[in-house]
Amino acid sequence: MPRYFTQDHEWIEVDGDTGTVGITDYAQGQLGDITFVELPETGTAVKKGDAPCVVDSVKAASDVYAPVSGTVTDANSALADEPELVNSDPENGGWLFRLTLSDATELDGLMDKAAYDAYVAGL
Amino acid sequence: MSEADDQTEDQPIETLTLPLDAWHREKGGRMVEFAGYWMPVQYEGIMAEHLWTRESAGLFDVSHMGQLFISGEGVEAALEAVLPIDLSTLKPFGPRYSMLLDEQGGILDDLMVTRWSSGFYLVVNGATKWDDIAHLREHLPDEITLTHLDESALLALQGPKAFAALERVVSGEYPLSALTFMKGGQFKLAGADAWISRSGYTGEDGFEISIPAENAAEIADLLCAQPEVKPIGLGARDSLRLEAGLPLYGHDLSPDHSPVDADLLFAVNKRRRSEGGFIGAERVLRDLADGTPQVRVGLALDGRQAAREGAEVYAGSDKVGVLTSGGFSPTLGHPIAMAYVNRAQAAAGTALEIDVRGKRLAATVVPMPFVPHRYHR
């Protein structure tokens, strides 16, 4: 399944019209120890660039932006008891929420893995 | 993803480097701008560094802080005119907490004062030190000399194993065990003169160590070569001091607050409360007599979501206060905060709510420190 990345360090993996969103390993490293994740409610309509999710670390609270527009269909309930999953497994078990894409063409503006890795290497 | 409320400080034109700059980078410190300097916010991670300090010993570089020496004919009376301290009860070599106040009794800075043989040694906050120096020069008489000890570095070694680690490498005319909490003395570390006091900002037993800047890297290496010691960044310094209930200037303390509403009356020594005679005394004595509408309290939050500086505190639909610090407590496993709240809501046990991005978090007023102090008295 194709996976796309944003300049704000979110990833989205797309399966049909469903996207799974998380933050990248680089992002969790920058944030440090994550202590709480405020997840969006199922049914929430989000526009690309909205911040439906907030990740709290010991240091600060950080917005997570929606990489594309859509409607939230699911959120990772395991994070309620284990927010540190975002640190230990950010690009798999530490996923944040799923949404149904309303405009798949928005994916065109995102980076693929190679482009994102090059972007991070330049930071 | 973006950081919504990271710490920011007034930035000078150029960020300065401290004596241990290269040392921090070599140790993997993630450097951030703080108080005008590049400083390490963390090495391996704030949580791990926090817990390490609570169970072993952490080495903090606090060389950004201002170290001042004030001397001259009549220095004692001159200092009492600018600080609410009673120097007649201040024995040599033991630091005592005090504060600089403005004419309105607002807090300009909090600081430590130690009587040395020929004058007084002050340690002030890094972000405020230039203003403090200007304030002191303005208000101290001409015959008083203020020296900025800007070729000295300052380290803090904090934690239950700090004594064991430092005792192994320190030498002096008397043993390190001669120091109890808030006592200090002159020692040698790696051949260099070291002024050491048993004090700190974490709530743990520990030491603050003033050394020549040129020896700082060698001494930091020596201390970190002890198995109990790891370097600790600013991030854990903040979470440790919050758990210890210790206020942070620029956040919990500011010119908007006096020692009375800041609940720091212990810094206004008894004789000064009756006699006054220090800058800001009128307001402080009036606040003492009349009380203040609000007071600084500790809040323990339910759940795991933290509330941070600026969040509003509610009792039902009434706004009753504002947070000045807040974050997740690694030791307790839940968020904690400091806030100024109305006196009617300040009693321990009072149930309140904190607004975080439109959501109400349940909180309870609790006594501070949140985590018991473990000083070696």
pTM here is 0.94
Please report which confidence band the pLDDT of residue B6 belongs to, taking 50, 70 and 90 as the band edges. very low
Here the tokens at position A24 are: 């990248």
Question: What's the pLDDT score for residue B2?
Answer: 59
Kindly report whether the peptide bond that precedes residue B92 is cis, defined as omega within 30 degrees of 0.
no
pLDDT above 70 coverage of chain A, percent: 100
Tell me the pLDDT of chain B averaged across its residues: 96
Option in B1, B46, B305 nearest A59 (CB): B46
Does residue B233 sit within a domain? Answer: no
Range of the domain at B338: 293-377
Residue of A8, A10, A26, A35 to mutate, testing the B interface (most B Cβ within 10 Å of its Cβ): A35
User: How long, in residues, is chain A?
Assistant: 123
Question: What's the pLDDT score for residue B5?
Answer: 46
Higher pLDDT, B14 or B364: B364
- Specify the DSSP element, H or E, that contains A31: helix A25-31
Please report which confidence band the pLDDT of residue B1 belongs to, taking 50, 70 and 90 as the band edges. low
Cross-chain residue pair B305–A38, CB shorter than 8 Å = yes
Q: What DSSP line would sit under A50-107, residue for residue?
A: ---EEEEESS-EEEE--SS-EEEEEE-GGGGT-TTHHHHSTTTTT--EEEEES-GGGG
Residue B234, C-beta contacts closer than 8 angstroms, at least 6 positions apart: B32, B34, B39, B40, B41, B42
Q: Give the residue from chain A lying closest to B327, CA to CA.
A: A58
- For residue B170, the cross-strand partners are B189
Average pLDDT of the residues in B34-47: 96
**Scanning the structure block, which residue is given the tokens 């040698």?**
B188
The answer to whether residues A52 and A74 touch, using CB atoms and an 8 Å cutoff, is no
Question: What's the pLDDT score for residue A59?
Answer: 82
Q: What is the pLDDT of residues B73-126, one digit of tens each?
A: 999 999 999 999 999 999 999 999 999 999 999 999 999 999 999 999 999 999
Q: What is the pLDDT of residues B294-314, one digit of tens each?
A: 999 999 999 999 999 999 999
For residue B158, the tally of other CB atoms under 10 A from its CB is: 29
Please report which confidence band the pLDDT of residue A104 belongs to, taking 50, 70 and 90 as the band edges. very high
Higher pLDDT, A34 or A59: A34
**Scanning the structure block, which residue is given the tokens 């979110």?**
A10
**Scanning the structure block, which residue is given the tokens 């101290």?**
B140
Residue of A6, A59, A84 to mutate, testing the B interface (most B Cβ within 10 Å of its Cβ): A59
Cross-chain residue pair A58–B1, CB shorter than 8 Å = no
The answer to whether residues A68 and A103 touch, using CB atoms and an 8 Å cutoff, is yes
Does residue B107 sit within a domain? Answer: no
Q: What is the pLDDT of residues B156-206, one digit of tens each?
A: 999 999 999 999 999 999 999 999 999 999 999 999 999 999 999 999 999
Cross-chain residue pair B1–A56, CB shorter than 8 Å = no
A38 contacts on B by Cβ (under 8 Å): 305, 357, 359
- Specify the DSSP element, H or E, that contains B109: strand B107-116
What is the rounded CA–CA span in Å between residue B24 and residue B153? 14
How would you class B355 by CB atoms within 10 Å of its CB: exposed for 0-12, middle for 13-18, buried for 19 or more?
middle
Q: Check whether B153 has a pLDDT greater than 50.
A: yes
- Domain A3-121 indexed as CATH 3.40.50.970: no
CA angle, B346 then B350 then B354, to 5°: 85
Longest distance between any two alpha carbons in chain B, whole Å? 62
Here the tokens at position B274 are: 């009756």
When divided into structural domains, chain B yields a total of: 1
Question: What's the pLDDT score for residue B9?
Answer: 52
CA A32 to chain centre: 16
What is the rounded CA–CA span in Å between residue A87 and residue A96? 12
Average pLDDT of the residues in B8-32: 86
Question: What's the pLDDT score for residue B7?
Answer: 47
Q: Give the residue from chain B lying closest to A11, CA to CA.
A: B1
CA angle, B304 then B326 then A89, to 5°: 45
Q: Check whether B359 has a pLDDT greater than 70.
A: yes
Sorted by where each begins, the domain ranges of chain A are 3-121
Q: What DSSP line would sit under B126-141, residue for residue?
A: TTTHHHHHHHHHHHS-
Does residue B40 sit within a domain? Answer: no
pLDDT above 90 coverage of chain A, percent: 97
Does residue B298 sit within a domain? Answer: yes
Q: What is the pLDDT of residues B244-278, one digit of tens each?
A: 999 999 999 999 999 999 999 999 999 999 999 99
How would you class B234 by CB atoms within 10 Å of its CB: exposed for 0-12, middle for 13-18, buried for 19 or more?
buried
Higher pLDDT, B4 or A74: A74
Cross-chain residue pair B1–A23, CB shorter than 8 Å = yes
Q: What is the pLDDT of residues B197-253, one digit of tens each?
A: 999 999 999 999 999 999 999 999 999 999 999 999 999 999 999 999 999 999 999
> Minimal Cα–Cα distance from A37 to chain B, Å?
8
Q: Give the residue from chain A lying closest to B32, CA to CA.
A: A30
Question: Domain with B353 in it: what CATH number?
Answer: 2.40.30.110
Instruction: Give CA torsion, residues B79, B241, B107, B338, to 10 deg.
Output: -150
Question: What's the pLDDT score for residue B10?
Answer: 54
> Minimal Cα–Cα distance from B93 to chain A, Å?
36
Q: Check whether A1 has a pLDDT greater than 90.
A: no
Please report which confidence band the pLDDT of residue B12 belongs to, taking 50, 70 and 90 as the band edges. low
> Minimal Cα–Cα distance from A4 to chain B, Å?
15
Average pLDDT of the residues in A4-25: 98
Here the tokens at position B317 are: 């639909």
Distance set, CA B37 to CA A55, A123, B16, B62, B309 (Å): 28, 21, 5, 11, 22
Q: What DSSP line would sit under B341-373, residue for residue?
A: EEGGG-STT-EEEEEETTEEEEEEEE-S-SS--
Q: Check whether B292 has a pLDDT greater than 60.
A: yes
Here the tokens at position B72 are: 């001259």
